[in-house]
Amino acid sequence: MATPLLMPKATAVWLVDNTALSFEQIAAFCGLHPLEVQGVADGDVASGIMGVNPIQNGQLTREEIEKAEGDPSYRMKISDPKVRVAAPKRKGPRYTPISRRNERPNAIKWLLRNHPEMKDAQIMRLVGTTKSTIDAVREGTHWNNANITPMDPVTLGLASQIDLDLEVSRASKGAAPGDIAEQGTMLLTAEEALAGAHGRAGMDHAEDDEHTERRPEREEELDADSVFAKLKSLKGDSEE
């Protein structure tokens, strides 16, 4: 995406007064019509606007101006900004394209069925819907309820897998232990699945260690019995 020019008319005023560029070159750079630039030169347009130097604000270089002055067919390019401003964080529900908005009830029903621990605010943030729509799907009063089919929001393109895992993780941390036990077939995040696998592996190793600890005790018992049996047989032989 091209960097927008700051104050195009004020920039055009400065270029008209301080360069030998043609009206077409200034118009192309400032996004104006050549007749507007001619009006700026005649004093009919932007008469009360003070010129702004694009070199000082870093949107044009002296070399670029000289190159354009030497070649009337050349069109100047806006310089890349030296400082990148971070994009503002999104607030409110996620924007959903019009072509996919009809799929949101399907995603809501899937989330309500597979992740009942998720709060309405999380669903709203995840698929870009409203609380009234969530309530209508939950209560079965949605106008298109007969055609609603539970579908994964990731498959529908309404949310990314990373966002879904993040919301599931947040919801599971705030859920009561009883609620988690009742979910049964609830899908787990990748982190939760790995944690569960490591936990089961640890339990298996603990059971193996317990069995190995018990085996020597059993072997000692068997050895003691055999020793007593041999002693009795020897005693009987000696009495005879």
In 3D space, the residue among 66, 6, 62 whose CA is nearest the CA of residue 30 turns out to be 6
In this prediction, residue 40 has a pLDDT band, given cuts at 50, 70 and 90, of: confident
Instruction: List, as own/partner pairs, every contact residues 127-131 make where C-beta atoms lie below 8 angstroms and the sequence separation is at least 24, other chains included.
Output: 127/94, 127/96, 127/153, 127/158, 127/159, 128/93, 128/94, 128/95, 128/96, 128/104, 128/158, 129/93, 129/96, 129/104, 130/93
For 164, residues 6+ apart whose C-beta sits below 8 A from its C-beta are: 126, 153, 154
Give the model confidence (pLDDT) of 48-80 as tens digits.
Answer: 788 899 998 888 999 999 999 999 999 999 887
Instruction: Sketch the domain layout of the chain as residue ranges.
Output: 8-70, 98-183, 208-240
Length of the chain as a residue count? 240
In this prediction, residue 101 has a pLDDT band, given cuts at 50, 70 and 90, of: low
pTM, rounded to two decimals: 0.38
Residue-by-residue DSSP string for 104-158: HHHHHHHHHHH-TTS-HHHHHHHHT--HHHHHHHHHT--TTGGG-----HHHHTS
Q: Would you say residue 44 has pLDDT above 50?
A: yes
